[in-house]
Structure 1
Amino acid sequence: MSGSQRHQIAGLILTRRQHETPQGVELELWLATKEGPCRVFLPAQRYVFLIHQQQLVKAQALWSAVHLTPNEIRPLSLTSFNGLSVSAIYCLNNKMFRQLQDILTTASIPIFEADIKVCDRYLMERFIYGTVSVQGECHWQGHYWHCRAAKISPATVTSKLKQVSLDIECSPLGELYSVGLSYGNTDSDKGSALLDSDCCATVLMIGEHEPCDDINIQWVANEQALLCALEAWFQWHDPDAVIGWAVTNFDLRLLVKRADAHNMPLRLGRDGSALRWLPHRQAPDQGTVILNGRVVLEGIDQLKNAGWMFESFSLEFVSQAMLSAGKLLTNPHNYNHNKGLEIKRQFEQEPVSLARYNLQDCLLVERIFAKAQLTEYAIQRARLTGLALDRRGASVAAFTNLYLPLLHRSGYIAPNIGDIEAQHSPGGFVMDSIPGLYDWVLVLDFKSLYPSIIRSFKIDPMGMIEGLKENEKNAIPGFRGARFSRNKHHLPDILDKLTAARESAKKENNQPFQHAIKIIMNSMYGVLGSAGCRFHDTRLASSITLRGHQIMLETRDFIEQQGEQVVYGDTDSTFVWLKHCTNAIDAQARGKVLEKRINQYWSNKLNLEFQLDCFLEIEFETCFRKFFMPTLRGSETGSKKRYAGLKVTNDGELMLFKGLETVRSDWTELAQDFQKKLYAKVFANEPIDSLVIDTVELLNKGELDQQLIYHKRLGRPLNAYLKNVPPQVRAARLADQINANLGRPLQYQRSGRIAYLITVNGPEPADYRQSCIDYQHYIDKQLKPIAEAILPLLSKNFDDMISDQMRLF
């Protein structure tokens, strides 16, 4: 393709950067396109911030006194939310940009929108989200297209990234042993085979050649040769993305460090530039990777972005939970106690085993990405919000990207963070429950309740400013003094478009797109309620949550007027006990009738009372044949956010627990297993005496010892626990004391997840238990609380049930 040209090309933005030049800020975008990677330069941009025009004379005098002059001052036809006109202050370099602001800040002159990066502003103001069309002369440079001074505009293109899963193994001192690279093995249903014929998987390994049939090992002489082989691999395969587990702050960081040790640039960039790792100022152990033309997708961050939650985010824990597969450990005991020494032993004695272990980690990451569709989710999130592919969290930034350009076109600039004093807003509605054991309970859920409230009642930052100007009779009432314009708003329209896009994604069965839209829509309320958002105002957040309270309470009253009994309600869900119901067909019919009547009620109410279209929609989807709502421990008051039930599904009945011990990680396997079996018998109307008595008997005989381990995470360094020292900390301190005595690395000084048991001498680490287990502790603190939650409804008492049996011990 040498010498070829194109005048238009479209693709997905992989990376974005900005560089200063004498002419201003130059923006650099790397795109993944169907025609190959493309590097786009957009020259001569400027830094900009805004000030009130009435402060301009004073500001100019302050700047002149220290001989500073902005590149340009331009009055704008925009106002702040208080109605004052503003001017834009432009600068060619960041130094001047900061100096001008510092002077104004010292003089207490307000500055607006100074925190928005040049590149982000350039893209959002052109409504470019994720994908872009480039017009200009694009020249092929041998490995990528190059385009300068281009015109860019929004585009809709389908993109699929070429990605490599990368993992390194090293000595305890950080010297490289091997680099695993898996490219193309993205089938989440594949088994444990390390290498399939349709993928490219390689381990670059230092050492003498050893025969190996099941994986591809490229043997090299030393560390420098390993780095050179890695460069060659990247040049040949040319991936768009690098994925991994802690890949930014461990693998790539260490590669940079080892390259520096050999005084060589590690040229992994698409343009031949060196890989760089830049530490964050306030967290030196964390940093940012500069890898021109390639995006780095951190597995842990991407899982969290997509809403996945795990007790631990270690690769072993997540892969076992998602794939029922884990690391290849030839000596698990040595690995658990001293990973570094075990890796060193394998490198010296079993290098092929280490290569298999290295490659397995790459494949696990690939399979997690494939199963959770993490790359697809990142692409869809970027297309919806304009966030960079590798950006973690950033719901506030996503809101800003979507809202700010629309706000500007309506004649307003954004307020600053903290302009309005942060105030608490009420949370989601939680109804007092009526505890008990019920037959036939159905659940009615409002679909996307908070987004629906925003759409129905036109809740919007600018809409509130406009609504407060209008006659009270014409505006839509909110809460805490808020009023909203019926016609001037943006957030309801944004949510309308997202809702339509979600329905389209459902029809196309595009799961990542549906999921991305759902998370973004649900984040809109949280953003308005966050003090870290420039549009935060308790009047906005309260107009959403308090309207939700009103809707839930009125819905309960309406249901009970229909002759049904509401036993609980939580945020957007209402639990209805169907008295005299005897079968699933009757429950389904009554649920559908309630669904239709409630939706009609709210549609009529909003039309008659507010003259508004109603976007509230309740759905009946869940039916429990048996349902248990417990009391608070030691009280007759019903609990909240805690229940269990036997759910009716198309495939049969499913036991479901919410907030109870079975789904809480701080309870033992003994407690979780006992609760499942106990509730299964209760829901099946079977006797429970033998289960309780037999469980206690087996416990005291020591036959359940493997189920007695607590697993808890240390939230702080060990030495930070001074007054209150919980059991897990005592166990961790004992573990590290034993580690020190045995000459092993300390495991828990800064953080970690400790496994421990309660013994007659207190908590002890599971790996180093020396004392007898305190079985009475597990009876009193694990079995009894679970039993006592439900036994009174059966007219039974836990102590009485086990008293005769306990006399045997």
Structure 2
Amino acid sequence: MAQAIYQGFVLSRQQMQVNGQLRLCYWLKSQHQLLKVWVEDEQPLFFIKQDKKTEVELLLSRAQLQFSISPSQLKHFDQAPVCVVKFRTLNHFYEAKQLLENKVALYEEDIRHADRYLMERFIRGAAWVKGKATQKPGYIEITQAQFKACDDYRPHLEMLSIDIECNGEGVLFSVGLVTDTKKLVIMIGEAQHAAVNVVWVEDEIALLEELVKQVNRLDPDVLIGWNVIEFDAAILVERAQANGVALAIGRDGGVMSTFKGNYTRVFIPGRVILDGIDMMKNATYHFETFKLSFVAEKILGATKLIAQDDRLEEIIRQFHHDKPALAAYNLQDCQLVLDIFSKLNLLEFALARTQLTGLELEKMGGSVAAFTNLYLPLLHRSGYIAPNLSEHGINFDSPGGYVMDSKPGLYQNILVLDFKSLYPSIIRTFCIDPMGLIEGLQHPEYAIEGFNKGKFSRTEHHLPGLVAALSSAREQAKLDKDMMLSQAIKIIMNSLYGVLGSKGCRFYDPRLASSITMRGHQIMQQTRTWIEQLGYEVIYGDTDSTFVCLPESLRSEACQAIGKQLMAEINERWRALLMESFGLHSHLEIEFETHYSPFFMPTIRGQEVGSKKRYVGQITELGKQKLVFKGMETVRSDWTEIAKEYQQAIIRALFDGLDTVEITHQYINEIFAGKVDEKLIYKKKLGKSVELYTKNIPPQVKAAKQAIEDGLLQTAKKGVQIPYYLSTDGPKFAQQGKLVDIDYYQYVEKQILPIYQMLPNASKLSIRSDGQQSFDLL
């Protein structure tokens, strides 16, 4: 065995017990080969306060556990010294946790050692690995390994899109597999001609065995799919176990396994599995539904081969009577997922996020985990362990973002000035930090005053430095045109306040969160005062945005110049004020973002008070005029298409000086004439399974229950989107082309008139349709 050094990117991590010892196993992708890396001589651990040492020694000794306990250089946030308790085996570690539960407070006992090992070495995806190397079939095995961080390596990873088809009980029919160069379906049945590449197998056992063969032949780094973890992978493991087949698709012949808790986790040695829905949500994509058919149409302009609502029934029919059609459908679903990943660079986003946080590629959500991964090793180097949840006993609600009362109306010129990353900038400027709070309270004479008795050390902190590093990295990513990295950084930066305000985070302290939001209130109010002192009217403000009204007579060029002047003036005033009042360098930066011309801020329906978080304005983009809606019906998923279209049309008419009454008449008449029936469908998700609704039954639930009784739906579970319309007999399930007895009056009353009523001077008008109904807007 030769001593060697390799550069690679961590694909999977595992901790296991081998010959009674903890061993850590990492699979890495290097430039030309795979690495299976073993780290030995590690010990799982947790911390206890030093005054509990005797009690813990007695309890663990009585249980005959192998452990060591020794004083640590670290301390608790309450300044109490701590001990570190280590174990020779994982079994004894878990037994000790269970034994000490509810008897002694344990610290950091929930951190997996495979994660801790990388975290403490600041390894975020990429690493240098040194150890004894042995060539194995398909990979290099490295033992006695040592890791060192490597910041600039991002590998090329091969993707395999996978999709299963099965009956309602999970019994498999077929599995589709698609890469950039290979496409095939493994299908149970007699061989027959098909338009796509099909490998025909005799039964479910043969299908699973062929799947193992094909995955290992294609040898992907990443498996992708749509709901692939909770559905496809979970069913494959269940069916393999039921049939006595080992799903040996790991890089070393290891078996794919699943772990179910609050969510399902899939482990494949040497491979990663990524779910398309989770990836899109984490990259902040928003859709009214994340069904593959809907997302594929929006992103790719493509439709699925089976488009009907009850696809399971059609899949079963095709399996028994038209297997070539099912194979084509199966394969197309794989292709759609691969195309979405490729078009949106979702794999690049996952790599960028891991490079920033050190979390596993497949770790979804995980803002709290990302914060812990970044912060904890820095905290240790400053002499502290992490506290447990809400140990400080302080609990009060922190205020949300600042929202100013609006001045409703139609305006010709509105400027929007936005503070760039306001909350991260507050963290950086005012040194808001969990450890900084502890140090500030210890030495208040040198601290920066926060809110709700919070005080923050000017020198002992880590979060401001993390924000500075992330901000710098984002600017570089923009220069490098690495948009996935830039987006990943933005998401992480914006999550910092949310994490500190989350009771699920071990560093939660309401003094931290309130010192951010209340400072934000102060900054927004002072900014408004300065702008008004400069002679301009502020009509609205929201969290980090200030809306400034300019004279109607000004042309665009003059408005742009004023926007830039205000930006420079406000930034300079903040620099001067913070240095004079706090002795702090300002990292606050307001930007002139948008010139709206015209701009409309509606009232709250039925009131004269201005609305909040709802407005529409016109911008000029690449020489073309464009309407931008915020919080209005046209961007809400719980309004019908006709309402969205009408609002677009009525605002366009308002801005162009056209007759809004005439436009409204046209839409009402089209509704009563039955010309837009297909645009009258509501789409709402179920908050729980339909059978759990017993008292308050909303319209989508009524429609779903009736559809089940009529045989149009088999069941309706939580998260299912129900299309329905309003009939004269109440809400009904919407079947394509089969809307009958539509209550047109309700649509005008609920979808058209509320939008009309928000227009300026709308209360002075009355509208009659061509039908018998009269619509009075007084």
When normalised by structure 1's length, the TM-score is: 0.92
Shift of 1:70: 4.7
Pair 1:615-2:587 in alignment: yes
Report Cα offsets for 1:106-155 as digits up to 9, x if no partner: 43x32211111111111111111111111012222111111111111111
Mapped partners of 1:443, 1:223: distance in 2: 61
Q: Is the 8 A contact 1:5 1:140 kept in 2?
A: no
Mapped partners of 1:418, 1:95: distance in 2: 29
Secondary structure, counterpart of 1:767 in structure 2: coil
Q: Is the 8 A contact 1:22 1:92 kept in 2?
A: no
Among 124, 132, 135, the alignment partner of 2:130 is 135
Runs of 4+ in 1 over 6 A off after TM superposition: none
Inter-CA distance 808–477: structure 2 relative to 1 (3 Å threshold): closer
Among 425, 432, 442, the alignment partner of 1:459 is 432
Shift of 1:621: 1.9
Report Cα offsets for 1:21-74 as digits up to 9, x if no partner: 34431111111111211111112221211111122223323444x344552111
Which letter maps to 2:442? K
Mapped partners of 2:619, 2:487: distance in 1: 24
Q: Is the 8 A contact 2:454 2:512 kept in 1?
A: yes
Look up the match of 2:470.
498
Q: Is the 8 A contact 2:598 2:618 kept in 1?
A: yes
Inter-CA distance 564–397: structure 2 relative to 1 (3 Å threshold): same
Inter-CA distance 415–257: structure 2 relative to 1 (3 Å threshold): closer
Shift of 1:205: 2.4
When normalised by structure 2's length, the TM-score is: 0.96
Shift of 1:170: 2.2
Secondary structure, counterpart of 1:177 in structure 2: strand
Pair 1:289-2:257 in alignment: no
Mapped partners of 2:771, 2:509: distance in 1: 61
Secondary structure, counterpart of 2:577 in structure 1: helix
Which letter maps to 1:316? S
Inter-CA distance 543–766: structure 2 relative to 1 (3 Å threshold): same
Q: Is the 8 A contact 2:352 2:488 kept in 1?
A: yes
Mapped partners of 1:168, 1:34: distance in 2: 32
Pair 1:169-2:158 in alignment: no
Inter-CA distance 624–61: structure 2 relative to 1 (3 Å threshold): same
Inter-CA distance 269–633: structure 2 relative to 1 (3 Å threshold): same
Q: Is the 8 A contact 1:76 1:88 kept in 2?
A: yes
Pair 1:238-2:219 in alignment: yes
Mapped partners of 1:749, 1:525: distance in 2: 34
Among 32, 39, 43, the alignment partner of 1:42 is 39
Look up the match of 1:225.
206
Mapped partners of 2:260, 2:163: distance in 1: 20
Which letter maps to 2:295? V
Look up the match of 1:672.
644
Shift of 1:220: 3.1
Secondary structure, counterpart of 1:29 in structure 2: strand
Look up the match of 1:275.
256
Shift of 1:268: 1.1
Look up the match of 1:110.
105
Secondary structure, counterpart of 2:638 in structure 1: coil
Among 724, 747, 750, the alignment partner of 2:715 is 747
Mapped partners of 1:568, 1:162: distance in 2: 49
Mapped partners of 1:171, 1:527: distance in 2: 41
Look up the match of 1:251.
232
Q: Is the 8 A contact 1:451 1:524 kept in 2?
A: yes
Look up the match of 1:428.
401
Secondary structure, counterpart of 1:44 in structure 2: coil
Which letter maps to 2:280? L
Pair 1:18-2:15 in alignment: yes
Report Cα offsets for 1:295-325 as digits up to 9, x if no partner: 1001111112211222211111211222221
Pair 1:446-2:428 in alignment: no
Which letter maps to 1:630? P
Shift of 1:480: 0.7
Deviation larger for 202-211 or 630-639 = 202-211
Q: Which structure 1 residue ranges, 5 or more long, are not aligned?
A: 185-198
Look up the match of 1:189.
none
Look up the match of 1:202.
184
Deviation larger for 129-138 or 763-772 = 763-772
Count, aligned residues: 772
Look up the match of 1:790.
759
Mapped partners of 1:728, 1:216: distance in 2: 42
Look up the match of 1:150.
145
Mapped partners of 2:499, 2:477: distance in 1: 24
Report Cα offsets for 1:201-222 as digits up to 9, x if no partner: 2222233444445x33333343
Mapped partners of 1:67, 1:268: distance in 2: 40
Among 780, 784, 793, the alignment partner of 2:749 is 780
Among 75, 83, 98, the alignment partner of 1:79 is 75
Shift of 1:92: 2.1
CA RMSD of aligned residues (A): 2.0
Which letter maps to 1:224? I
Q: Is the 8 A contact 2:704 2:713 kept in 1?
A: no
Inter-CA distance 78–510: structure 2 relative to 1 (3 Å threshold): same
Inter-CA distance 69–644: structure 2 relative to 1 (3 Å threshold): same
Look up the match of 1:601.
573
Shift of 1:803: 6.1
Shift of 1:232: 2.1
Look up the match of 1:552.
524
Which letter maps to 2:86? Y
Secondary structure, counterpart of 1:450 in structure 2: helix
Look up the match of 1:190.
none
Mapped partners of 1:429, 1:751: distance in 2: 32
Secondary structure, counterpart of 1:27 in structure 2: strand
Look up the match of 2:4.
7
Look up the match of 2:92.
96
Mapped partners of 1:770, 1:447: distance in 2: 48
Which letter maps to 1:7? A
Look up the match of 1:121.
116
Which letter maps to 1:375? L
Look up the match of 1:766.
734
Mapped partners of 2:611, 2:773: distance in 1: 34
Which letter maps to 2:67? N
Inter-CA distance 610–6: structure 2 relative to 1 (3 Å threshold): same
Q: Is the 8 A contact 1:50 1:112 kept in 2?
A: yes
Secondary structure, counterpart of 1:801 in structure 2: strand
Among 395, 404, 407, the alignment partner of 2:379 is 407
Shift of 1:224: 3.0
Secondary structure, counterpart of 1:336 in structure 2: coil
Shift of 1:227: 2.4
Look up the match of 1:191.
none
Mapped partners of 1:620, 1:584: distance in 2: 14
Shift of 1:550: 0.4
Report Cα offsets for 1:438-465 as digits up to 9, x if no partner: 1110111111000001111111111111
Mapped partners of 2:80, 2:221: distance in 1: 47
Inter-CA distance 5–320: structure 2 relative to 1 (3 Å threshold): farther
Counting aligned pairs with the same residue, the percent is: 44
Mapped partners of 1:131, 1:703: distance in 2: 59
Mapped partners of 2:321, 2:674: distance in 1: 39
Deviation larger for 449-458 or 346-355 = 346-355
Q: Is the 8 A contact 1:129 1:385 kept in 2?
A: yes
Deviation larger for 314-323 or 380-389 = 314-323
Inter-CA distance 749–548: structure 2 relative to 1 (3 Å threshold): closer
Which letter maps to 1:232? K
Shift of 1:751: 4.7
Report Cα offsets for 1:422-442 as digits up to 9, x if no partner: 431111111110111111101
Which letter maps to 1:133? W
Shift of 1:806: 4.5
Secondary structure, counterpart of 1:530 in structure 2: coil
Inter-CA distance 791–699: structure 2 relative to 1 (3 Å threshold): farther
Shift of 1:102: 4.3
Pair 1:298-2:298 in alignment: no
Q: Is the 8 A contact 1:32 1:159 kept in 2?
A: yes
Which letter maps to 2:734? A
Q: Is the 8 A contact 1:79 1:411 kept in 2?
A: yes
Shift of 1:105: 4.0
Mapped partners of 1:75, 1:619: distance in 2: 51
